[in-house]
Amino acid sequence: MDRLQNQTEQNLKAIRGSFLDFVDDPFYVPEKESVRYLPDGLLVLENGKVKEFGPYDELQAKYGEVSTTVYTERLIMPGFIDIHIHYPQTGMIAAYGEQLLEWLEQYIFPTEEKFQDKVYAREVSDIFLDQLLSNGTTTALVLAAVFPQSVDAFFEAAEARNLCMIAGKVMMDRNAPESVCDTAESAYQETKALIQKWHKKGRLHYAVTPRFAITSTGEQLQKAGELLREFPDVYMHTHLSENVKEVEWVKTLFPDCEGYLDAYDQAGLVGERSVFAHGIHLTDSEFQRLSEAKSAIAFCPTSNLFLGSGLFKIEQAKSADYPVKVGLATDVGAGTSFSLLQTANEAYKVAQLRQQKLSPFKALFLATLGGAKALCLEDTLGSFDVGKDADFIVLNPQATKLMAFRNSTEFPRTLDELADRAFSLIMLGDDRAVQATYILGELAYGTP
Ligand code: GUN
Ligand code: ZN
């Protein structure tokens, strides 16, 4: 058997181009030690996984005859990871005028009621997943609605596309219309059945999802904790300290708790696979507790600005003394864009308002390997390390006329040049800058 025939039979293929990913956390090591940039690299794929990755010069002799797709003047990155988003809110994005609690009541609960209808839930799931892929997002931590069939519809749509997705049915048994409420017991039973049906089915994972402490009784939070003890490798996903009125209300609902986080902690919901969205108004001791528990915070800047919730203290979350895992998240429908580039853009501005700097590499770390770490998926996702799943995206820094003008100089060779190009992508880019999205090495959106 000659070598070409051998390689074809092994189902090998390759991508050649300029690659950017991270080998460490730029919040804790110098950026140049965390960034891996291959201006002319080769990514060799076998059965949807990374078989080899390195400079083209070094690998061409070995893989020169493998079928290769070449991208010139494009930046190839691991797929973006959105660690907090609500699929049922896709159709209610951009709802005018309210802050969190009124916004939920006026717009969101009536919208989520429609997801009782599984056919409708599947239609929206497909629209939602199209949006993720066209924005370069390949994995997300997703809230469904209260209805189990809304989870079935979502997972069926994700499975059909071979996506790595984490999702769960929201649990809510008070302070919301009856039509979108369950009970502590029905939430327990329905969640348990969904875990048994979907968790670790292919690339899918389940997240136990009490919506937030306002819409769950202490009894329901305890039931959520029971599920986590029964199924230790599922996730826990909820909201935390997003809005000042919300924080005050939680204190009156849980008078025996030390604070908002403690309401979750007393139910056993604060652990390594717990992801808390927002965390804007956390106390120092709450940050410390999240650090000690190895929990993650989803930084949702477009949502936090849209609902007037506040400015997330990323430098405190990423402090060396009490490091907390952080990922970027759109939080659609309170978030105003599906694009993690646009989300990074707003994250930069939030940092500016607090006299901080969020460098382009830090922002892109949060959108890739940082998100994977927040979701405990860094062994399979988030970078081009050998053996990881080949979910990646091709970004075009000249996607619009303005971007083409801004980036008309030669393609970056150095890290400084790359930082400038990456920053312009974050500030000016959105779905138009995503030329292609690959899932397990197969083109899932865009053009080769
Ligand atoms: N807190 C509880 N539910 C929600 C939600 O749907 N969106 C946001 N942004 N915050 C919440
Ligand atoms: Zn949310």
Ligand 2 centroid distance, CA of 50 (Å): 33
Nearest CA to ligand 1 atom 5: 104
Mean per-residue pLDDT for 168-178? 98
Q: pLDDT tens-digit profile of 397-409? A: 999 999 999 999 8
87 lines ligand 1 (CB under 6 A): no
Q: Could you give the percent of the chain with pLDDT greater than 90?
A: 97
Ligand 2 centroid distance, CA of 104 (Å): 10
Strand segments, DSSP code E, in 35-175 are 35-46, 49-55, 68-78, 80-86, 137-143, 164-168, 170-171
Q: pLDDT tens-digit profile of 8-42? A: 556 899 999 999 999 999 999 999 999 999 999 99
100 lines ligand 1 (CB under 6 A): yes
Domain locations in the chain as residue ranges: 2-78+384-446, 80-374
| pLDDT for the residue 409 | 87
Ligand 2 centroid distance, CA of 163 (Å): 21
Number of the ligand closest to the Cα of 88: 1
Average pLDDT, the chain: 97
Mean per-residue pLDDT for 284-307? 98
In this predicted structure, the answer to whether residue 4 has a pLDDT above a threshold of 80 is no
Mean per-residue pLDDT for 90-96? 97
CATH number corresponding to 80-374:
3.20.20.140
| pLDDT for the residue 8 | 55
In this predicted structure, the answer to whether residue 314 has a pLDDT above a threshold of 90 is yes
Among 3-7, 138-142, 280-284, 353-357, the minimum mean pLDDT is found in 3-7
CA-CA distances (angstroms) from residue 190 to 142, 149, 338, 382? Answer: 17, 10, 29, 32
Q: Could you give the percent of the chain with pLDDT greater than 70?
A: 98
Mutate to test the pocket of ligand 1, among 100, 249, 299 (most ligand atoms within 8 A of CB): 100
| pLDDT for the residue 424 | 98
Mean per-residue pLDDT for 216-222? 98
Ligand 1 atom nearest the C-alpha of 309 is 9
Ligand 1 atom nearest the C-alpha of 307 is 9
391 lines ligand 1 (CB under 6 A): no
In this predicted structure, the answer to whether residue 49 has a pLDDT above a threshold of 60 is yes
Ligand 2 centroid distance, CA of 258 (Å): 23
Q: Which of 249, 320, 290 is nearest to 105 (CA)?
A: 249
242 lines ligand 1 (CB under 6 A): yes
**Cβ within 8 Å of residue 22, ≥6 positions away:** 34, 35, 36, 361, 364, 365, 368, 369, 370, 382, 383
Ligand 1 centroid distance, CA of 198 (Å): 24
Ligand 1 centroid distance, CA of 390 (Å): 32
Report the 10 Å Cβ neighbour count for 408. Answer: 8
Mean per-residue pLDDT for 344-366? 98
| pLDDT for the residue 1 | 47
| CA–CA gap between residue 398 and residue 74 (Å, rounded) | 9
Mutate to test the pocket of ligand 1, among 84, 99, 104, 105 (most ligand atoms within 8 A of CB): 104
For the beta sheet containing 392-395, the strands, ordered from the edge strand earlier in sequence to the opposite edge, are 49-55, 35-46, 12-22, 68-78, 392-395, 434-439, 442-446
| pLDDT for the residue 6 | 57
Same fold, 2-78+384-446 and 80-374: no
| Topology of domain 2-78+384-446, CATH | Urease, subunit C; domain 1 (2.30.40)
Q: pLDDT tens-digit profile of 187-196? A: 999 999 999 9
334 lines ligand 1 (CB under 6 A): yes
Of the pLDDT bands very low, low, confident and very high (cuts 50, 70, 90), residue 364 is very high
Of the pLDDT bands very low, low, confident and very high (cuts 50, 70, 90), residue 351 is very high
Of the pLDDT bands very low, low, confident and very high (cuts 50, 70, 90), residue 178 is very high
Number of the ligand closest to the Cα of 102: 1
